[in-house]
Homo-oligomer: A and B are copies of this chain.
Amino acid sequence: MNSVTIILAFAFLAILTAVIYALKVTRIQIGTEGGKDNESKKLIEISSAISEGAMAFLVREYKTISLFIAFMAVLIFFLLDNPETPDFNDGLFTAIAFVAGALISCLSGFIGMKIATAGNVRTAQAAKTSMTKAFRVAFDSGAVMGFGLVGLAVLGMIGLFLLYTHLFQNVGTLYLMEALAGFGLGGSAVALFGRVGGGIYTKAADVGADLVGKVEKGIPEDDPRNPATIADNVGDNVGDVAGMGADLFGSCAEATCAALVIGATATALSGNTDALLYPLLISAFGIPASLLTSFIASVKEGGNVERVLKIQLWVSTLIVGAVMYFVTDKYMVDSFEIAGKTIGKWNVYISLIVGLFSGMFIGLITEYYTSHSYKPVREVVDASKTGAATNIIYGLALGYQSSVVPVILLVITIVTANILAGMYGIAIAALGMISTIAIGLTIDAYGPVSDNAGGIAEMAELGKEVRNRTDTLDAAGNTTAAIGKGFAIGSAALTSLALFAAFITRTKTTGLDILNAEVFGGLLFGAMLPFVFTAMTMKSVGKAAVDMVEEVRKQFREIPGIMEGKAKPDYKRCVDISTTAALREMILPGLLVLLTPILVGYLFGIKSLAGVLAGALVAGVVLAISSANSGGGWDNAKKYIEKAAGGKGSDQHKAAVVGDTVGDPLKDTSGPSINILIKLMAITSLVFAEFFVQHGGLLLRLFQ
């Protein structure tokens, strides 16, 4: 079979899998068939509120996004015109790919949210009877997102590939691949809003709910008396399902585009469709590997959920690693040449393997730094004894320190892949790292579903045993979420570097010497961007949270009987506030990310832009890892204190709550948004490469 057939077949397999899992989940009845008991009615009521809130947000977010997508599409259409391709309207076809990427990413997000908000209540219900069932429902819900997204992404890319190569048989493959890169930009642009907007939403709700509920009123998490509790649960979906999905969709699409563009510069690849499509084969073969693995996902009552999830990651990783050996042998050409370097097929394979495993190790080291089973978090726990200040100091230090090993792993990956297969190797390593994305995303989406299930169980007062089961599921999800974040950052780093390399290859830029003042100036400027971006997103969460706090306080004040559980709070108002704030606050950071590369390239030229990309990349990776792990560490330090140290209400716990609250926006908004910052700036540069070649460096020309 040729590559195209296989890729198409596996894409459809993924979509079919998603459909089957979706049916499996949604067919579960809530309550008995005959009539609904009171408990079930309550379950339906609560989950509908969450589902409606999530959809309301998504609809409003997509409206904003569509305006933006239209604007960008027009920009692409008018700015891009390559004189080397008179027969091919670069602007138009890049814009089409861009819109396709954006739409498919939105669609994936929508499906993920739909099923997550259907799965949460069913998980809660299943938890009434057994852990095994509850786990399976949550896992299946996650799988819809995991497989659906990968299937759609792969289908979108192979579809466009077939369309463009069929329509323009006389246009060079490289130009077509460049137009295809618009798909990555589209996916990434949606991810920007998903991560930033979603991140702000979820943390505004979370911080708002905690600050008034837990701290001021002393009521537990997910207490139905807290007006922000529905918004908080909506937020888990918005941030961790739609946001994370869009982020990884972006990584997958962008890394593929980077590999295709770089690969197309090699004649041995551009003339051989099977080999050229090798990057898509990686994602495609990840699908059956993930599917096989998902069959063994099963938890016994009282079993170790975390272990089951980690085994999922390991098994799928090993299968992909093994299968790709044969795939490489069959579909990759024996050797090809890029930028004067001869690259053998096994060099490509080893690059893939290095990326694949370095992803796993980054995940595991992330777990070491954020799990309360190990020393770093225990130190934060101890530091909390002397107050909030020392808790913060140790938590920040934990994050900063946690960057060492991932950075070294990334350096090893980059250097190895580059020595073996040049910049193509780095793109392949990035794809290797996310080749098991179907199972990875399944587990990622499993987390918020379980979390929500716990919230619903609490609100519907399903009893302690049920809550214990969902808590166990949720706790495992938290650990794997940390691993997932490690993956996301690592893959973002490699993807950006690959895109960056594609950009440089494309613009044929030389003389990017770090001591060149344009390049160095760019490096310094670029290194500052992740910090400013973090500042913006942190403050956005702060502002949105203040709005939320005020609303919650107002409701407690003005609606009599809330605290006694006699009156119902106005959940919808809180959902509205989070939605409005998130959409308002995502504009400024969004503009920063999108306009910076375009303006720098236009005004200061390609060398400065290259410097900016590299500076933002290196500083951004470190800051993103630090932010995510500081946040994760604070979170788990607090949980440990609740369970095994001072306990809730102790001074130690109060200190830990401060850290947890600071960490929330860092780990769920700012940190993950940096992934998008570095990827999006790189792919924007790649897509607008031709524009910069023709018109870039306006100011430099003026001074010369």
A401 at the interface (CB under 8 A from B): yes
Contacts of A408 in B (CB 8 A): 525
A143 at the interface (CB under 8 A from B): no
- With contacts A393-B539, A415-B521 taken as known, whether A387 is within 8 angstroms of B527 at the C-beta atoms is no
Distance between Cα atoms of A617 and B623 in the complex (Å)? 15
A397 at the interface (CB under 8 A from B): yes
Q: List residues 405-456 of chain A with CB under 8 A from any CB of chain B.
A: 407-408, 410-411, 414-415, 418-419, 423
Copies per assembly: 2
Q: List residues 320-352 of chain A with CB under 8 A from any CB of chain B.
A: none
Which of B400, B545, B549 contacts A531 (CB under 8 A)? B400
A389 nearest CB neighbor, chain B only: B661
Which of B411, B414, B532, B622 contacts A401 (CB under 8 A)? B532
Per-residue interface assignment for chain A, residues 375 to 419, with 1 indicating a CB less than 8 Å from any chain B CB and 0 otherwise: 000000001001111101110111111011001101100110011
Distance between Cα atoms of A587 and B221 in the complex (Å)? 44
- Contact: A389 with B662, CB < 8 Å? yes
Which of B215, B394, B523 contacts A542 (CB under 8 A)? B394
- Contact: B386 with A549, CB < 8 Å? yes
A56 at the interface (CB under 8 A from B): no
A623 nearest CB neighbor, chain B only: B531
Which of B215, B399, B504, B524 contacts A621 (CB under 8 A)? B524
Which of B207, B215, B407 contacts A525 (CB under 8 A)? B407
Cβ distance A574 to chain B, nearest Cβ, rounded Å:
17
A615 at the interface (CB under 8 A from B): yes
- Contact: A542 with B423, CB < 8 Å? no
Which of B387, B397, B542, B610 contacts A211 (CB under 8 A)? B387
Distance between Cα atoms of A523 and B621 in the complex (Å)? 11
A591 at the interface (CB under 8 A from B): no
A626 at the interface (CB under 8 A from B): yes
SS class of chain A's interface: helix, strand, loop or mixed? helix
Distance between Cα atoms of A403 and B411 in the complex (Å)? 27
Which of B404, B414, B618 contacts A615 (CB under 8 A)? B618
Which of B398, B521, B621, B657 contacts A527 (CB under 8 A)? B621
Cβ distance A495 to chain B, nearest Cβ, rounded Å:
14
A535 at the interface (CB under 8 A from B): yes
A619 at the interface (CB under 8 A from B): yes
A538 at the interface (CB under 8 A from B): yes
A contacts with B, residue count (CB < 8 A):
79
- Contact: B515 with A515, CB < 8 Å? no
A91 at the interface (CB under 8 A from B): no
Distance between Cα atoms of A621 and B614 in the complex (Å)? 16
A492 at the interface (CB under 8 A from B): no
Contacts of A534 in B (CB 8 A): 397, 400
- Contact: A504 with B515, CB < 8 Å? yes
- Contact: B414 with A521, CB < 8 Å? yes
Contacts of A523 in B (CB 8 A): 514, 523, 614, 618
Distance between Cα atoms of A532 and B410 in the complex (Å)? 16
A598 at the interface (CB under 8 A from B): no
Q: List residues 255-273 of chain A with CB under 8 A from any CB of chain B.
A: none
A658 at the interface (CB under 8 A from B): yes
A518 at the interface (CB under 8 A from B): yes
A501 at the interface (CB under 8 A from B): yes
Contacts of A657 in B (CB 8 A): 389
Contacts of A215 in B (CB 8 A): 387
Contacts of A504 in B (CB 8 A): 515
Chain A residues in the interface with B (C-beta under 8 A): 207, 211, 215, 383, 386-390, 392-394, 396-401, 403-404, 407-408, 410-411, 414-415, 418-419, 423, 493, 497, 500-501, 504, 510-515, 517-521, 523-528, 531-532, 534-536, 538-539, 541-542, 545-546, 549, 610-611, 614-615, 617-619, 621-623, 626, 657-658, 661-662, 665
Q: Which 6 A-B pairs have the closest CB atoms?
A: A418-B517, A389-B661, A400-B535, A527-B618, A397-B535, A400-B531
25 residue pairs from A and B, CB less than 8 Å apart: A211-B386, A389-B661, A389-B662, A393-B665, A394-B542, A396-B662, A397-B536, A397-B538, A400-B535, A400-B538, A401-B535, A404-B528, A404-B532, A407-B524, A414-B520, A414-B521, A493-B524, A511-B513, A512-B513, A512-B515, A527-B619, A527-B622, A615-B618, A618-B619, A658-B658
